[in-house]
Chain A
Amino acid sequence: MNREILRLKNLNSGYADKLILKNISFSVNEGDFISIIGPNGCGKTTLLRSISSELTPESGEIELYGKNLKNCTPGERSRLISFVFSINSKLPDYTIEQFLQLHTFPYDVPFLFKNDEKKISDAVKICGIKNSITSSIRNLSSGEFQLVQLAGACIQNSRFIILDEPVSHLDPRNAQLIMSLLRKLNASGTTIITVLHDLNIALNLPGRILGIRKGRVYFYENAAEIYNKKLTDKLYDIEFTYYRKNNRYFCLNSY
Chain B
Amino acid sequence: MKKNKLIKYLTAASVLLVSVYFVITSVNFLQPAAFIDLMNYDITFKNVFFNFRIPRIWTAFAIGSALAVSGTVFQALLRNPLADSYTTGVSGGAAFGISLALFTGGGSLSASLYAFGGSILSVVIVYFIQKKFSIFSNVVILAGVALSMIFSSAVMFVYAVSESREVHKAMLWLMGDLSIARYELLPPVFIFIIILSGVLLLYSKHLDIISLGKEYTVTLGISSASIRNIFFCAAVLTSLSVLLGGIIGFIGLMIPHLIRKIFSPKHFILITVSFFCGGIFLAVCDTAGKIAADPFELPAGVMTGFIGGLFFIYSAIRRKS
Q: List chain A positions with a Cβ less than 8 A from chain B.
A: 52-54, 73-79, 81-83, 85, 87, 89, 91-94, 98, 102-103, 105-106, 108, 111, 113, 156
- The answer to whether B223 touches A73 (Cβ under 8 A) is yes
Q: Is B127 an interface residue (CB 8 A)?
A: no
CA A83 – CA B220 in complex, angstroms?
A: 9
Residues of chain B with a CB closer than 8 A to A92's CB: 208, 211-212, 260, 265
Q: Which of B204, B223, B266 has the most CB of A within 10 A?
A: B266
Instruction: Give the residues from 176 to 212 in chain B that come closer than 8 angstroms, CB to CB, to chain A.
Output: 202, 204-205, 208-209, 211-212
Q: Is B221 an interface residue (CB 8 A)?
A: yes
Also in contact, A54 and B218, with CB within 8 A (given A92-B211, A102-B209, A108-B205): yes
Also in contact, A53 and B209, with CB within 8 A (given A74-B223, A92-B265): no
- The answer to whether B218 touches A156 (Cβ under 8 A) is no
Q: Which of A53, A54, A75, A92 has the most CB of B within 10 A?
A: A92
8 Å CB contact of B221 from A74, A94, A98, A111: A74
Task: Count contacts between A and B, CB distance < 8 Å.
Answer: 71
- The answer to whether B220 touches A94 (Cβ under 8 A) is no
- The answer to whether B212 touches A91 (Cβ under 8 A) is yes
Instruction: Give the residues from 94 to 128 in chain B that come closer than 8 angstroms, CB to CB, to chain A.
Output: none
Q: Is B215 an interface residue (CB 8 A)?
A: yes
CA A103 – CA B266 in complex, angstroms?
A: 14
B contact residues, range: 20 to 34
Q: Is B306 an interface residue (CB 8 A)?
A: no
**Closest B residue, CB atoms, query A83:** B219
**Closest A residue, CB atoms, query B205:** A105
Q: Which of B211, B214, B221, B268 has the most CB of A within 10 A?
A: B221
**Closest B residue, CB atoms, query A75:** B221
Give a binary string over B240-264; 1 marks a CB under 8 Å from any A CB, 0 the rest: 0000000000000000000010000
8 Å CB contact of A113 from B219, B220, B268: B268
Tell me how far the C-beta of A4 lies from the nearest C-beta in chain B, rounded to whole angstroms.
Answer: 21
- The answer to whether A74 touches B265 (Cβ under 8 A) is no
8 Å CB contact of B213 from A79, A82, A87: A87
Q: Is B216 an interface residue (CB 8 A)?
A: yes
Residues of chain A with a CB closer than 8 A to B215's CB: 52, 54, 83, 85, 87
A–B complex contacts, Cβ < 8 Å, 11 sampled: A54-B218, A74-B223, A78-B221, A83-B215, A85-B215, A92-B208, A92-B211, A94-B208, A98-B208, A98-B265, A105-B209
Q: Is B16 an interface residue (CB 8 A)?
A: no
Residues of chain A with a CB closer than 8 A to B221's CB: 73-79, 105-106
**Closest A residue, CB atoms, query B214:** A54
- The answer to whether A102 touches B219 (Cβ under 8 A) is no
Q: Is B27 an interface residue (CB 8 A)?
A: no
CA A83 – CA B219 in complex, angstroms?
A: 7
Tell me how far the C-beta of B87 lies from the nearest C-beta in chain A, rounded to whole angstroms.
Answer: 18
- Known interface pairs A52-B218, A83-B219, A102-B205; 4 further A-B residue pairs with C-beta atoms within 8 A, sorted by A's residue number: A53-B218, A77-B221, A89-B79, A108-B205
- The answer to whether A78 touches B220 (Cβ under 8 A) is yes
Also in contact, A102 and B223, with CB within 8 A (given A92-B211, A113-B205): no
Q: Is B222 an interface residue (CB 8 A)?
A: yes
Residues of chain A with a CB closer than 8 A to B208's CB: 92, 94, 98, 102
Q: Which of B204, B212, B214 has the most CB of A within 10 A?
A: B212
Tell me how far the C-beta of B262 lies from the nearest C-beta in chain A, rounded to whole angstroms.
Answer: 12
CA A106 – CA B220 in complex, angstroms?
A: 6
Tell me how far the C-beta of A214 lies from the nearest C-beta in chain B, rounded to whole angstroms.
Answer: 25
CA A120 – CA B220 in complex, angstroms?
A: 16
